[in-house]
């Protein structure tokens, strides 16, 4: 077998692999990047980029339907799914090409297309060749989980990846799973004109959030005509002539829902089962995520795991931050740790939810005495001016230290405005200090200091 030596091997060209390859190669190392599918990984090809492109098309349709609110007249609104998909494909293609060009432009970096399997602590086999390096970085990501639902093998179902290829508007899309990915698709396809039902096992949507957030999100989606079936603990799929019957044996509502299309949005599992980790002795947990320490090193010397596959984050920005931690510690003598990262994410329904830090429940469970500030978007001038007043802003502050523990902005521009809180939390700005800044009027962010002035126990 042909053997080639490198200074570092990166498996997976997702969100951490390419920037890491860039840093390693520019520091003079010979680097191999192995990718079995599409450069750019999940986010660029089947995750963030295509979904946010579809969300934008859906938003355009939504605005077009309510233009009269703004005093504008237009004709009937039609959604051309082939054109929507073509636009999405073009944006994805350009993004992927950008990452590919960037990788190919790196000196000392070899891109190898194929499935990588570890055969030793410093050895990786790909396409019948053997690569050897003293440093191996696993950035293999994750894929949709397909839990064992009765009847699943009898009917065609869609995942978050295959739904992206639809060139028609489903008559009735049933989304199984009422969490972040499921909600984005549900609203997007509703706005394209599909009938949509969300089926969720828990007693509320996005059950990790506080109750008031779940309730407000449910309200937003229901207002658009989405049917929500929570507490659906007994989902079963059946073929029913040309349709799919989704049995939902819940306490209320019809027992069977007839779907033209079913989307399974039930979480993701790491791509670690075909990587040869058992041969090398790299530890994984029960769910298959690679166990890493604070600096993202595995239990085997010389092997690190970054991004979704280590279970320490499930977002593009967390994968990228993993790269920053590893690169700085390895190349710049840094001591960055993954626990220094403050959790943050967006749920890109419309209006979006921007979230940072702890929920109210988490803060209370951790033993904090909290003060809470809350304001409905109906009391935000910018939201009223834009005619988008759904949702609310909420900030959680530690009553003793006056530090901000978390926040949620569910409302127009909430995904952007929440960064003010993230900045304050990272710099340990107290609520009193933050409340003295002079923000720009009229913005959503300008209400953050106001809310901090009005905190209640
Ligand atoms: C529908 C959807 C929407 C999303 N929206 C957002 C969002 O809005 N914001 C956000 O922050 N995150 C979002 N995410 C999550 C985000 O896409 C992931 O967190 C991110 O892509 C993780 O990056 P990664 O580098 O860990 O892995 P990935 O991007 O998954 O990359 C891993 C790469 O490794 C390759 N690979 C795997 N095994 C091997 C092997 N053995 N040999 C060679 N190559 C291999 C894979 O082909 C893949 O290209 C979304 C995800 C989905 C599914």
Q: Look at residue 238 and give its three-state secondary structure.
A: strand
Ligand 1 pocket check for 115: Cβ under 6 Å: yes
User: Active-site residue 62, yes or no?
Assistant: no
CA 416 distance to own-chain centroid: 15
Report how far residue 122's alpha carbon sits from residue 136's, in angstroms, rounded to the nearest whole number: 7
Closest ligand 1 atom number to CA of residue 307:
26
Burial class (CB in 10 A: 0-12, 13-18, 19+), 264: buried
Q: Do domains 152-266 and 344-452 have the same CATH topology?
A: no
Tens digit of each residue's pLDDT (9 = 90 or more) over 259-280: 999 999 999 999 999 999 999 9
Residue 92: per-residue pLDDT: 98
- Report the Cα 434 to chain-centroid distance in Å: 29
Three-class SS string for 82-148?
Answer: HHHHHHHHHHHHHHHHHHHHHHHCCCCEEEEECCCEEEECCEEEECCEEEECCEEEECCCEEECCCC
Res 241: pLDDT: 85
> Which member of 115, 283, 441, 453 is catalytic?
441
pLDDT recorded at residue 32: 98
The CATH class of the 152-266 domain is alpha beta
In contact, 200 and 169? CB cutoff 8 Å = no
Question: How many CB atoms are closer than 10 A to CB 165?
Answer: 12
What pLDDT sits at residue 96? 98
Whether 12 is in the pocket of ligand 1, judged by its Cβ within 6 Å, is yes
Please give the pLDDT value at position 252: 57
The single-letter DSSP state of residue 291 is: P
User: What is the CA(80)–ligand 1 centre distance, in A?
Assistant: 28
Spacing, Cα 438 to ligand 1 middle (Å): 39
What are the residue ranges of helices labelled H in 257-307? 277-280
Fold of 2-144+269-340: FAD/NAD(P)-binding domain (3.50.50)
Whether the predicted model's global pTM rises above the 0.85 cut: yes
Q: Which residue positions in the chain have pLDDT lower than 50?
A: none
Angle, CA of 61, 345 and 173, to the nearest 5°: 40
Residue whose CA lies nearest to ligand 1 atom number 15:
315
The CATH classification of domain 344-452, taken from the options 3.40.190.10, 3.40.50.300, 3.40.50.2300, 3.30.390.30? 3.30.390.30
Look at residue 404 in the predicted model and tell me its pLDDT. 98
pLDDT for res 242: 87
- Centre of ligand 1 to C-alpha 316, Å, is 7
Edge to edge, the sheet with strand 123-126 lists 3-5, 129-132, 123-126, 117-120
For the chain, the structural domain boundaries read: 2-144+269-340, 152-266, 344-452
Residue entry with tokens 């355009």? 60
Predicted local confidence at residue 254, as pLDDT: 59
CA distance 318 to 312: 8
What residue owns the CA closest to ligand 1's atom 45?
Answer: 12
Pocket test of ligand 1: the residue of 140, 268, 307 to mutate, having most ligand atoms within 8 Å of its CB, is 140
Atom of ligand 1 nearest to the CA of 116: 42
């Amino acid at each position: 077998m042909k053997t080639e030596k490198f200074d570092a091997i990166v498996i997976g060209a997702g969100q951490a692999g390419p920037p890491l390859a860039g840093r390693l190669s520019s520091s003079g190392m010979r680097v191999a990047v192995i990718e079995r599918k599409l450069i750019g990984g999940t986010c660029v090809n089947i995750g963030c980029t295509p979904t946010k492109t579809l969300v934008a098309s859906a938003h355009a349709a939504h605005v077009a339907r309510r233009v009269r609110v703004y005093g504008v007249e237009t004709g009937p609104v039609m959604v051309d799914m082939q054109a929507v998909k073509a636009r999405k494909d073009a944006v994805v293609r350009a993004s992927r090409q950008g990452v590919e060009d960037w990788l190919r432009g790196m000196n000392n970096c070899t891109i190898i297309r194929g499935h990588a399997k570890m055969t030793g602590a410093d050895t990786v086999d790909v396409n019948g060749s053997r690569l050897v390096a003293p440093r191996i970085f696993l950035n293999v990501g994750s894929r949709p989980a397909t839990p064992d639902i009765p009847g699943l093998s009898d009917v065609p179902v869609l995942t978050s990846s295959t739904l992206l290829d639809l060139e028609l508007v489903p008559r009735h899309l049933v989304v199984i799973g009422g969490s972040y990915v499921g909600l984005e698709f549900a609203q997007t396809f509703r706005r394209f004109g599909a009938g949509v039902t969300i089926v969720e096992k828990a007693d509320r949507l996005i059950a990790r959030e506080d109750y008031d957030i779940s309730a407000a999100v449910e309200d937003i989606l229901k207002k658009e005509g989405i049917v929500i079936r929570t507490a659906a603990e007994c989902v079963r799929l059946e073929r029913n002539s040309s349709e799919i019957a989704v049995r939902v044996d819940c306490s209320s509502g019809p027992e069977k829902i007839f779907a033209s299309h079913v989307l399974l949005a039930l979480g993701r599992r790491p791509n670690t089962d075909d990587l040869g980790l058992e041969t090398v002795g790299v530890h994984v947990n029960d769910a298959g995520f690679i166990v890493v320490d604070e600096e993202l090193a595995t239990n085997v010397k010389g092997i690190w795991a970054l991004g979704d596959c280590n279970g320490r984050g499930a977002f593009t920005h967390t994968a990228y931050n993993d790269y920053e931690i590893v690169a700085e510690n390895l190349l710049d003598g840094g001591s960055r740790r993954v626990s220094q990262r403050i959790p943050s994410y967006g749920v890109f329904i419309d209006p979006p939810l921007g979230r940072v830090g702890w929920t109210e429940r988490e803060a209370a469970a951790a033993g904090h005495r909290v003060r809470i500030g809350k304001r409905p978007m109906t009391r935000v001038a910018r939201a009223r001016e834009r005619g988008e007043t759904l949702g609310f802003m909420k900030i959680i502050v530690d009553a003793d230290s006056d530090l901000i523990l978390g926040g949620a902005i569910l409302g127009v521009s909430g995904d952007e405005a929440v960064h003010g809180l993230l900045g304050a939390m990272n710099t340990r700005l107290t609520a009193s200090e933050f409340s003295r800044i002079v923000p720009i009027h009229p913005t959503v962010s300008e209400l953050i200091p106001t809310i901090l002035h009005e905190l209640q126990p």
